[in-house]
Chains A and B, each alone.
Chain A
Amino acid sequence: MLSVKHIYKKLGNLKLCDINFEVKRGEYFVILGPTGTGKTVILETIAGVYNIDKGNIFINNKDITNLSPEKRNMGFVYQDYLLFPHLTVKENIVFGLKARRASKENINNSLSKICKTLRIEHLIDRKPNGLSGGEQQRVAFARAIITSPEILLLDEVSSALDPNTKKEFQVNLKNIHKKLNTTTIHVTHDFNEARFLADRIAVMIKGRMCQIGTPEEIFNNPSSKYVADFLGNNNFKFGDGENVKSQLL
């Protein structure tokens, strides 16, 4: 489905080094790492914000490295939701469908369906300014998925929520993913969230992907001291072939 191959990108002090990973169709892939490690930049690179210095991105074996964002068919939800402040909730949600010149009937059907799924029917005539964090998030989510994107990119989407709302959102997210089966790449620094949602997790430290595996593999068998330290695993023991430090420097 998605294949990211040997990506290098320098952005100020941030450096992505030889990023390699593949995401299967319908998979929920979580990129887990500390703040400031380049997780968001990876998402933005996949979505087409930046031109990469080196490497390629493929979707279904088609090279999309130089494709503009509007031609990549991806949905993106940022941490701060970023609803268009000059539009109503309804206008925000149908923005993508209108940009694709969908028919009025299609727009109305999709709108009512998505609003029902996310329980935001009562909000559609309001402006984003008056919405709570949780409501804004659901609207941003609706806006991103209404166009049926091939890949959904989520950037720390639950980090601004209170613990109760967060838990509820994670459960909803899992249910929606099961229902829609949209390939999802979710960036977070929250271990519990990653463990709860992910089919596979990639641990990213200092601009490098250090380990990719199932939640069990990542949390039970960290591949290096850096991954173990980040995950708070104090029982890590050095093996004979340990040379990850040299990879990281």
Chain B
Amino acid sequence: MYFKNYKEVLFKGIIGFFIILLSTFILLTIAVVLKRSLPELWESIKDEEIQFAIKTTMYTSTIATLIALIFSVPIAYGLAKYQFPGKGLVNGIIQIPNSIPPIASGIALLLLFSSEYMTALVTKLGIDPVFSVKGIILAHFFINAPYMIRILKTTFEEINPKLEFISRTLGCSIWGTFFRVTLPLARNGIITAIIITWTNTLGEFGTALMLAGSIRMKTETLPVAIYLSLSGGNLNKALSAATILIIISVVGLFTFEFVGMKKRNKYSD
């Protein structure tokens, strides 16, 4: 009996040890930044450059997440629900940006959009991404859409296809079934995918740097502001930008989680 309890305590103890260790490490890292920069945070927020960086970060992250969502929902659904020739290959191609370093992706995108034909095309369409805010959005989208597709694919796979079929037998079309059954059932997965993509795009740096550059007050996001401030020896400004980034991420994360939890609770009595 004692031996059995001892094993159980050891088992749970190891789990607890790792949870506490990692949580402490994360909190300690954040606390060091906050402690240093919080007293001067208000002054930093009033800084025009930081304000520009906050706006650019929020704008590019939100737009990139929305575009990723528009692409990811149909792609993830198709990969989860349908069988077609070359499905494995398509899945592999879509996940390529996940496996190559962001900076390499950035160079590849820069080369693509600097080519003669592509430049002519995107200029005509008014969406030239090279050294512009559109480039930040494109870079965020390129890097993060595969993550979103992966999460949503798992979400759609977990939905019992018989539920969708029942909806069809009840007179709902394939579209009606998607909007009235599949999407509501995928809501938690979609919320999770949005949280992860949005928080990832807030801090995405390498790819956007290559494609959009690090032009002060033009393509300056918060990560770029950190980079430019550090390069210029302005540690306080870099820390302020980092703190704001942390606050936005954490607030965003908890807001989405809160909304998600409320929706989840609606499922049960």
Contact = CB atoms under 8 A, between A and B. Distances in A.
Contact of A78 (B162, B187, B266, B269): B162
Contacts of A68: 168, 173-174
B162 A82 contact: yes
B168 A86 contact: no
Interface in B161-184: 162-163, 165-174, 176, 180-181, 184
B260 to A, nearest CB: 14
A85 B169 contact: no
A147 B168 CA distance: 13
Nearest to B176: A99
Given A84-B163, A85-B185, A99-B176, A70 B269 contact: no
A27 interface: no
A174 interface: no
A47 interface: yes
Nearest to B167: A95
Classify the interface of chain B: helix, strand, loop or mixed: helix
A129 B267 contact: yes
A95 B176 CA distance: 11
Interface range, B side = 20 to 34
Contacts of A72: 169
B160 interface: yes
A123 to B, nearest CB: 11
Most A C-beta atoms less than 10 A away, residue of B160, B176, B269: B269
Contact of A99 (B160, B162, B170, B184): B170
A59 to B, nearest CB: 14
A49 interface: yes
A75 B169 CA distance: 6
Contacts of A82: 160, 162-163, 166
B29 interface: no
B268 interface: yes
Contacts of A38: none
B181 A69 contact: no
Contact of B168 (A70, A84, A127): A70
A96 B169 CA distance: 8
Interface string A107-144: 00000000000000000001101100000000000011
B192 to A, nearest CB: 16
B264 to A, nearest CB: 10
A76 B185 contact: no
Interface string A73-106: 1111010001011100000000110011000000
A48 interface: yes
A232 to B, nearest CB: 31
A150 to B, nearest CB: 12
B268 A76 contact: no
A47 B169 contact: yes
A49 B174 CA distance: 12
B267 A85 contact: yes
B130 to A, nearest CB: 45
Nearest to B268: A129
Interface string B187-230: 10000000000000000000000000000000000000000000
A173 to B, nearest CB: 19
Contacts of B180: 95, 99
Given A84-B181, A130-B269, A70 B171 contact: yes
Contacts of A18: none
Interface of B: 160, 162-163, 165-174, 176, 180-181, 184-185, 187, 266-269
10 A-B pairs with least C-beta separation: A96-B170, A69-B168, A99-B171, A130-B269, A99-B172, A76-B169, A86-B184, A100-B171, A129-B268, A70-B168
13 contacts: A70-B173, A72-B169, A74-B169, A76-B166, A76-B169, A82-B160, A84-B166, A85-B267, A86-B267, A95-B167, A95-B172, A99-B176, A144-B170
